Amino acid sequence: MAILKDILYKVSLVSISGITDIEIHNITMDSRSVKEKTLFTAVKGTQADGHQFIEMAIDKGATAIVCEVMPAYLREGITYIEVKDSSEALGIISSNFFGNPSSKLSLIGVTGTNGKTTTVTLLHKLFRSLGYNAGLLSTVENKINDEIIPSTHTTPDAVTLNQLLQKMVESGCSHCFMEVSSHSVVQHRIAGLTFAGGAFTNITHDHLDYHQTFEEYIRAKKMFFDSLPSTAFALVNADDKRGMVMIQNTKAKKQTYGLKTMADFKGKLISNTFHGIELEIDRKDVWFKLIGSFNAYNLLGIYGIAVLLGEDSEEVLKELSSLESAKGRFEQIISKEKITAIVDYAHTPDALKNVLETIQDLRQGNEQIITVVGCGGNRDATKRPVMADIACKLSNKVILTSDNPRNEDPMDIIAQMQKGVSLTDQRKTMVIPDRKEAIKTAIMLAGGNDILLVAGKGHENYQEIKGVKHPFDDKETVKELFQLLGK
């Protein structure tokens, strides 16, 4: 419970009609979840305009309305608050309503196209092993210490986000590690939060369906760093072309990490194997369990964040070296006949390229690389031909299949992928829209020592078709089919 005028603190108001000395018991942006004494914020979205649901919200018990356009008819006993940007207002209101939990812990936000989940998951594991109470907000799952709370988004909406942070504070957490998606920056899901630090992994092709241009996508990520306070640090990958751009206007303490360029946290890749990588960090050689040279960047970023948070560098390296990667990131399943299947969440061109290059680097002889890959429906269509081309260039055989088709026809998505395949590569490809059948065929085609990459869905335990999530798990499917086929 809170008093309306208190939760409007720091919101930039245009006008108010009604009294602000009233009790508010809930806040929401969704008319369907309005209860008695709720503050309903009307947000213009991609599918609907929340302003259309103001009457419905009041009928269900809303007593305060935050909106960008005042309704023509104002109902008696209701307080209407006109603001310039209602999603930004909702971020600030959510933070106020839940007692500004982000300012009561060290909140670290990680942004970038790839590597966010890996970075925050390992940071959470690291801080737990260093003895801290800590929270996690990620694509795979949210966590309060070791309690798992299912995740629906990479970055939750402002209300859910602040509610989770409040629970973390109540559970004695001193830190929270969260992913900051570009959608969440543009939609102000993170407005009103106090970050102790921000980190940038990299930026490559993704989400152009939403941001329209690559420049807009860069701008969205940069906005996160622009909004950091002077008390925070901003740590960026200096080897990424956009690393320095991210922090050019930030008030935060600028810090860098890298393998190639001069950086505050500098590393060197010493060896790269199917069991892990060896890195030189701060003149110490350390073995890590993560696979793939791209993980050298994730590990350096994690190390930098932990040191900037005041942890002892030796302790950090010791604990970090024993940690496994996040679920569905380069997970290996080795069959009886020694076929290695790798389940990985690579769903962008850059991630797919990195994973396949890692597999090429690590293979011993001329084992075949067989890739099973699809692209999600209702998501950036421009990455489809590019991903198919990369899969073909770096594999011996490619099976084009479905990822989450959502509301699109799987064969349409596959046809768009095929446009990226060169004439010479066409003979390497097969089209099998049923993902289980695709994995089965790949296993049937594989012999001893061959490497099978099942890309795009990683930890996901469903396939989303026309709004319904059907149970499906790449790793379980691979195991089941290895057994069934006696491989």
Ligand X SMILES: CC(=O)N[C@H]1[C@@H](OP(=O)(O)OP(=O)(O)OC[C@H]2O[C@@H](n3ccc(=O)[nH]c3=O)[C@H](O)[C@@H]2O)O[C@H](CO)[C@@H](O)[C@@H]1O[C@H](C)C(=O)N[C@@H](C)C(=O)N[C@H](CCC(=O)O)C(=O)O
Binding residues for ATP: 112-118
* Mask for 26-65, x = binds ligand ATP (CB under 6 A): ----------------------------------------
Find the binder of ligand ATP among 196, 246, 252, 355 (CB under 6 A): 355
Contact 428, 395 (CB under 8 A): yes
- Residue number with CB closer to ligand ATP (344 or 403): 344
Stretch that binds ligand ATP, among 186-194, 351-359, 408-416, 443-451 (CB under 6 A): 351-359
Backbone dihedral angles phi then psi of residue 155, each to the nearest 5 degrees: -120, 120
> 193 in helix, strand or coil?
coil
Q: How far apart are CA 138 and CA 120, in angstroms?
A: 7
Task: Give ∠ CA 442-458-161 in degrees, rounded to 5.
Answer: 165
**Of 347, 334, 339, 388, the residue nearest 368 (C-alpha):** 339
Pairing of strands 175-179, 106-111: parallel
Backbone dihedral angles phi then psi of residue 363, each to the nearest 5 degrees: -70, 145
155 binds, among ligand ATP, ligand API, ligand X, none (CB under 5 to 8 A by kind): ligand X
Q: How far apart are CA 379 and CA 46, in angstroms?
A: 13
376 binds, among ligand API, Mg ion, ligand X, none (CB under 5 to 8 A by kind): ligand API
Distance in Å, CB of 214 to ligand ATP, minimum: 16
Retrieve residue 189's tokens.
């899901």
Asked whether position 125 contacts ligand ATP by CB under 6 A, the answer is no
51 binds, among ligand API, Mg ion, ligand X, none (CB under 5 to 8 A by kind): none
Q: Which residues are annotated as a binding site?
A: 31, 112-118, 154-155, 181, 187, 189, 379, 403-406, 456, 460
Tally Cβ neighbours within 10 Å of residue 128. Answer: 18
Asked whether position 154 contacts ligand ATP by CB under 6 A, the answer is yes
125 binds, among ligand API, ligand ATP, Mg ion, none (CB under 5 to 8 A by kind): none
Distance in Å, CB of 125 to ligand ATP, minimum: 13
Asked whether position 354 contacts ligand ATP by CB under 6 A, the answer is yes
Reported as type and span, the H/E element at residue 148 is strand 147-150
- Residue number with CB closer to ligand X (102 or 154): 154
Reported as type and span, the H/E element at residue 449 is none
Backbone dihedral angles phi then psi of residue 114, each to the nearest 5 degrees: -130, 150
Find the binder of Mg ion among 87, 100, 106, 117 (CB under 5 A): 117
**Of 87, 41, 40, the residue nearest 59 (C-alpha):** 40
404 binds, among ligand API, ligand X, Mg ion, none (CB under 5 to 8 A by kind): ligand API
Tally Cβ neighbours within 10 Å of residue 285. Answer: 12
- Residue number with CB closer to ligand X (319 or 474): 474
376: amino acid identity, one letter: G
Asked whether position 116 contacts Mg ion by CB under 5 A, the answer is yes
User: What residues make contact with ligand ATP under the rule CB under 6 A?
Assistant: 112, 114-118, 139, 154, 179, 201-202, 294, 297-298, 329, 344-346, 350-351, 354-355, 458
